[in-house]
């Protein structure tokens, strides 16, 4: 694929970044996340299309659409990480490389957060690096895309 675009997907409750449990998620906002990913992608000559929704179907539709004009997907599925086979199947079905990001260290939190349905379809995993982890995930995903 020659399109130099990434889809950035943020799942449920990530619209509350900056105000939701700042001791866990920090004070940076979703706008900060989107700006950070855009800056990182632009440095490599990529565009970013960003979507955040609290509705699983909206995220799945965006993932399906990405197969037409994106080179990869950076995703923080939020709570859907631990519950959504459907989201995992959408990511698998579009056959694009995926970078999974989590702001907090999910393995150091409640046991139900220890399983990720996305893990086996992602080629990049960045867990517990805070919002800067989105930059790491973007850089690693682009390196993977360009090595293919």
How many structural domains does the chain have? 1
Assigned domain for 90 exists: yes
pTM value? 0.94
* Residue 76 marked as a ligand binder: yes
**Residue 114 a catalytic site member:** no
Q: How confident is the model at residue 87 (pLDDT cuts 50, 70, 90)?
A: very high
Taking the alpha carbons at both ends of the chain, their separation in whole angstroms is 10
| Residue 122: both structure tokens together | 């992602």
What CATH number does the domain containing 120 carry?
Answer: 3.40.50.9100
Task: Record the tokens describing residue 68, joined without a space.
Answer: 């037409």
Judge whether 102 counts as a catalytic residue.
Answer: yes
Q: Which of 46, 102, 117, 134 is catalytic?
A: 102
**Is there a binding annotation on residue 71?**
no
pLDDT mean over 118-132 = 96
In terms of residue numbers, what domain contains 109? 8-147
Catalytic residue among 25, 46, 117, 134: 25
Does the annotation place 61 within a ligand binding site? no
Is residue 104 annotated as involved in ligand binding? yes
User: Any binding-site annotation on 89?
Assistant: yes
1 is a domain residue: no
- Residues 90-116 pLDDT 10s: 999 999 999 999 998 887 777 777 889
For the four alpha carbons of 102, 108, 113 and 116, in that order, the dihedral sign comes to positive
Q: Which residues of 99-112 are buried (b: 16+ CB within 10 A; e: fewer)?
A: bbbbbbebeeeeee
């Amino acid at each position: 694929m020659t399109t130099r675009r990434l889809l950035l997907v943020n799942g449920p409750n990530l619209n509350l970044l900056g105000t939701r449990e700042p001791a866990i998620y920090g004070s940076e906002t979703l706008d900060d996340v989107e700006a950070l990913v855009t800056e990182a992608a632009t440095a490599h000559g990529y565009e970013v299309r960003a979507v955040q929704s609290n509705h699983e179907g909206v995220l799945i539709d965006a993932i399906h659409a990405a197969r037409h004009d994106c080179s990869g997907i950076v995703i923080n599925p939020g709570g859907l990480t631990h519950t959504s086979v459907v989201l995992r199947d959408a990511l698998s079905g579009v056959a694009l490389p995926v970078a999974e990001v989590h702001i907090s260290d999910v393995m150091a939190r409640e046991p139900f957060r220890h399983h990720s349905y996305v893990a086996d379809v992602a080629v990049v995993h960045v867990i517990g690096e805070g919002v800067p982890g989105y930059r790491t995930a973007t850089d690693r995903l682009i390196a993977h895309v360009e090595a293919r």
